[in-house]
Amino acid sequence: MNLERMMNTLGEFVETGRMSAHTKDELREIYGELKPAYEKQLQRDKSKEMGIQTHYNTSVEHIEKDATVCMNVFNSFAAKFGEVEDELKVLQAMQEDILHALEFLSDEEIDKPKLMDDLTVIRRQRRVAKDYLELSKPLHGIVTRYEGLKGDMKNAVNEIKKVKQYQSNRMYTPRKLTGLEEAFRKAEDKRDEK
């Protein structure tokens, strides 16, 4: 359920003061979605009270996403760099065409104001392309120097996914306090229901 729908459901209840069966079901769904975030917030607050660092809590959730972004950069960067280099050549040729038209054609044969406007657009876009190439040249050097990095990043992302899957299925088995086995079994069954 998205945030807008949650707000509308809560707003309907707040405004009317009545709760239909449908609204009650939706509130249960909202509660179910908000409860993990709330419990996580409580855990973070309790950790802070105890003096435990929590700055890495959110980054744990983003490791896979960040690694995927890095992988995509390495996989697409060389191609994009080449495309911009090719575009720069096209822009250079267009600029030369306009300059040669201004040089060799008479005023009656050309529309000077239009050519000047076109030249301005071309020069500005050419500057953007040159700036892009200049700024990205250090990264391009790394990407081309370490061709295997693309595969390594893909392997790292896949390994992160495996570890996350393992962590989500991990369950503790008591060694000495066997009286806790039933509680752990219930927790595992509850997790499997989700």
Assessment of whether the complete model's pTM goes beyond 0.85: no
Distance CA 60, CA 54 (A): 11
| Average pLDDT of the residues of the chain | 84
Token pair recorded at residue 24? 């009650």
Q: Which residue has the tokens 């595992």?
A: 188
pLDDT, one tens digit per residue, over 31-78 is 888 888 888 888 888 888 888 877 666 666 688 888 888 888 888 888
Please name the amino acid found at residue 46: K
pLDDT digits (tens, 9 = 90+) for 129-173: 999 999 999 888 888 888 788 888 889 989 988 988 888 777 777
By C-alpha distance, which of 91, 61, 74 is closest to 151? 74
Task: Please give the residue that has the higher pLDDT: either 124 or 183.
Answer: 124
Whether 67 contacts 156, CB under 8 Å: yes
In this prediction, residue 60 carries a pLDDT of 66
Quote the tokens at residue 113. 């104001």
Q: What integer pLDDT is reported at residue 181 of this predicted model?
A: 79
Name residue 191's amino acid: R
